Amino acid sequence: MPGNMADGPVHIPVLPEETMALLAPCASGTYLDCNLGLGGHAEMILDASSPDGVLVGLDLDSEALAMAEKRLTRFGGRACLVRSNFARAEEVLSSLGIAGVDGVLLDLGLSSLQIDGDRGFSFNDPHSLDMRMDDRSGETARDLVNRCSAEELAEMIYNYGGERQSRRIAAAIVAARVEGEIKSGRELADIVYRAVPRRFHPKKIHSATRTFQALRIAVNRELDNLEVILAALPRILNPGGRVCVISFHSLEDRMVKRAFADKKKYQLLTRKPVTAKEPECRQNPRSRSARLRAVQFLPPAA
C-alpha cells in the first residue's frame, strides 16, 4: 500500500480499488477530496491522474492536514491542500480560480489519527472529550454532555445515533454529572456501558458506539455540512464529472441516496452501495460499515 509514513500513523484508505474505478481519475483532470484525512485516497487520485492532474484537498484537522501534506510532497503543485470545512468547497474553489472539477470524493469517515488520538473520539481516551474536527471554535462533546438536559441528550442520541436506549443513557449522564463534570471519553463510555442493561448490549460494537456517533455528529454539524455539499455538487462539477461518497452510517447514506436519485442531474454508477469484501474487512475492520455510492453528472439539457 503506498504512502506509509514511518513518523506517523499509516492510513489505509477504505474501498480503494472500488473508489478509483468509479471516480476514474485521468490526466489533466481536476479533483476535489472533501475530507482529506491522512491523504490515502488523495495519493491514489494523484498517481492515477499523472502527469498533470490536480487535486484540491480539504480538511478541518490541522494535524491531519500537516501529515497529508508531507505524504503528498512528491506531487508538488499538483496537490493544493486547504484547511476548510467541505461545506465551503464552492468558496474555496472560486478563490483558487477553479470553475469546475472532474471528480469529487467525500469520505465521511474519521481518520485513523482522530480515532486513535487524544480528542475524545475513542472510548479509551482518558484525557479528552472534545470530538471537534476543527479545534478553533464551537462547543465540544464535553460541553454538550455537561450542559444539555436529559431530554435534549436523549433526542440527540436517538436521532443521530439511532440508540433505542437513549433515555436511559441520557438519564445516566445527567445523574453522573451531579457528582462532577464528565471530562473524558473513557468516563462517558463507562457511564453508557453501565446505563444499558446487559441484555441490550450490541454483540458486534461497544455499547457506547451510537452515543459517541451522535455526539460527534452534533458537535461537528456533520449532517448540515453534508446537506450543503450535496446541494453544491451540480454547481462545482464539470459535465460528465463523477462523485464518490463513502458513508459510515444510515443517516448519511440516506441523504446521499436521496440526492443521487435526481435523474435529471445524475446517472447512477452504483445501483446499490458498494461494500468492502471480507479480505479488506479483515485487514481494516473500520471498512465493515463503509457504503460507497457514485454518480456521473449529466450535462444540462440544451
Are 236 and 107 in a shared domain? Answer: yes
What's the structural domain count of the chain?
2
Across the chain, which distance is largest between two alpha carbons, in Å?
A: 67
Residue 299's pLDDT is what?
A: 79
Are 131 and 103 in a shared domain? Answer: no
Are 183 and 48 in a shared domain? Answer: no
pLDDT per residue of the chain (302 residues) written in tens, 0 to 9: 333 444 444 567 999 999 999 999 999 999 999 999 999 999 999 999 999 999 999 999 888 899 999 999 999 999 999 999 999 999 999 999 999 999 999 999 776 666 665 566 788 888 789 999 888 878 999 999 999 999 999 999 999 999 999 999 999 999 999 999 999 999 999 999 999 999 989 888 889 999 999 999 999 999 999 999 999 999 999 999 999 999 999 999 999 999 999 999 999 999 999 999 999 999 988 899 999 999 999 977 65
Q: What is the b/e burial string over 238-264, where b = at least 16 CB atoms within 10 angstroms of the residue's CB?
A: eeebbbbbbbbbebbbebbbebbeeee
Which three-class secondary structure state does DSSP give residue 66?
A: helix
Global confidence as pTM: 0.90
How far apart CA 11 and CA 32 sit, in angstroms, is 19
Residue 6 lies in a domain: no
Are 204 and 230 in a shared domain? Answer: no
Residue 2's pLDDT is what?
A: 38
* Nearest residue to 129 (alpha-carbon basis) of 138, 139, 140: 140
Pairing of strands 237-247, 30-33: unpaired
Helix (H) or strand (E) holding 155: helix 150-161
Residue 111's pLDDT is what?
A: 64
Burial of 51 (C-beta count, 10 Å sphere; 0-12/13-18/19+): exposed
Are 202 and 264 in a shared domain? Answer: no
Are 20 and 105 in a shared domain? Answer: yes
* Nearest residue to 56 (alpha-carbon basis) of 296, 5, 75, 19: 75
Q: Which domain-ending residue is among 202, 220, 238?
A: 220
Provide φ and ψ at 118, rounded to 5°.
-120, 40
Cell of 187: 468516563
Q: Which domain-ending residue is among 189, 220, 251?
A: 220
Are 77 and 197 in a shared domain? Answer: no
Residue 138's pLDDT is what?
A: 87
* Nearest residue to 147 (alpha-carbon basis) of 122, 117, 166, 170: 170
CATH number of the structural domain spanning residue 171: 1.10.150.170
CATH number of the structural domain spanning residue 39: 3.40.50.150
Are 264 and 213 in a shared domain? Answer: no
Residue 116's pLDDT is what?
A: 60
Residue range(s) defining the domain that contains residue 22: 16-113+222-297
